[in-house]
Each structure stands twice: as structure tokens, then as C-alpha cells.
Amino acid sequence: MTFTRNPAPPNRPDLPVQRTDPAGPRPAPVRMSTARRALARIASDAVRTHASGREGAPGISARTLHTLDARSMVRYGAPVPGLGRPVRTTWKGRRALISRGPAGTAAWLWLLDQDEVWVAADGRTYLIAEMPPPYCANAAAWLQRNAALLRRYAAPQRRVDPLTWIDRTPLMRALVESAAD
């Protein structure tokens, strides 16, 4: 499945389409807090556009999707007959989620449940495979020092010890493995 920038879906006369004229005025962008909520939903699970060709996606307005697309935070896949188009976050979209800080619960969940990238405090992303071992060790130590705080944001329902929980995450395992190299 290839993902591309969102081309406008064709207007079909048999469907009531709420699309504005592409040559006309663009909808006003939504606030970033609204866009982040939509990004969190898209990042946590694959979201599809409406199958009927209507703009937007279930639970996400057309205006919000337009804002995310205009800022290159999402990408759209090829149409699936009867199901719409899959929508996924781009690296820029993930950085926007993570830069939100500890309040971005979905961002922490996404970051801890993957083993490919580390996101620094300033929002820059680094591939763990390309990070120097001392930097991986520092990142792992930071995660252990802040395990209780991270668990409060990412997994408050967990009853296990915070250090045990953080050591089991894919991110921590990847950092420790890379630090040992």
C-alpha cells in the first residue's frame, strides 16, 4: 500500500459531497489542540476516511483533516473499495504529538511501544540504530529515573512496579541493546 499526499476525491453527482470548491477559499485551520487530539486517534489505530466519499473521517471533521494535511502531518493510502482511504501519521505528525510533552498520553504510548526512534526533549527524532551507545545509555537511564512519572501518563492502570514496567517496553529494550553494542 502506498501513501501519498491527499488528492481531492472526485466529486460524484450521486453522493451528497460537502467539499468546498478547490479554487475557492480554504477552510480555516483548527486549533493545534484539536489537531493533536485527531493525531492521537490516528496514531493509536489506523483511521479510514468515510467510505461514501464524504470529507473527513468517522469522529474527525473534514476541517481537522484538512489542517493536518496542509501541515504534512498525515498521509493517505490508496482507496479501499467500500472502506475509504487509510490515514496514517507522518514523522512530522508524530513529532507534533510528542512535543506536547507528558500531557500527550497517546504520544507516550506510541513512543514506548516502538523500538525504532528516540525523541529528544526538543522534539528531534533519532534512529536508535544510529545513536551512539553512550547516548542510548543516557536515554535508558532517563527512562528509568522517570519511570513513575511516565507510567502515570502512559499506563496509570498498571499495578506493576514502574521500573519493571519501563524495562519491559520495546523502547527500553532497544535502547539497552544498542547501548551494549
- pLDDT per position as a tens digit, 83-142: 788 888 777 776 666 655 544 566 677 788 889 988 876 667 889 999 999 999 999 998
Q: CA torsion, points 120, 152, 171, 77, in degrees to nearest 10?
A: -80
Give the cell for residue 51: 467510505
Confidence of residue 173 (pLDDT cuts 50, 70, 90): very high
Of residues 93 and 9, more confidence is placed in 93
Contacts of 130 (CB under 8 A, 6+ apart): none
Tell me the Cα Rg of the chain.
19
Q: Are 104 and 40 in contact (CB under 8 A)?
A: yes
Query: Cα(17)–Cα(181) distance, rounded to whole angstroms?
Result: 56
Q: Which of 8-12, 31-35, 72-76, 88-92 has the highest mean pLDDT?
A: 72-76
Count of alpha carbons within 13 Å of 170, Cβ hemisphere only?
Answer: 10
Residue with cell 492521537: 40
- Given a cut of 90, is residue 175 above it in pLDDT? yes
CB atoms within 10 A of CB 177: 14
Q: What are phi and psi of 177, to 5 degrees?
A: -65, -40
**Mean pLDDT (the chain, rounded):** 76
- Given a cut of 50, is residue 38 above it in pLDDT? yes
Global confidence as pTM: 0.48
Residue 53 corresponds to which amino acid? G
Count of alpha carbons within 13 Å of 21, Cβ hemisphere only?
Answer: 3
Sign of CA dihedral 159, 42, 64, 58: negative
- Given a cut of 80, is residue 156 above it in pLDDT? no
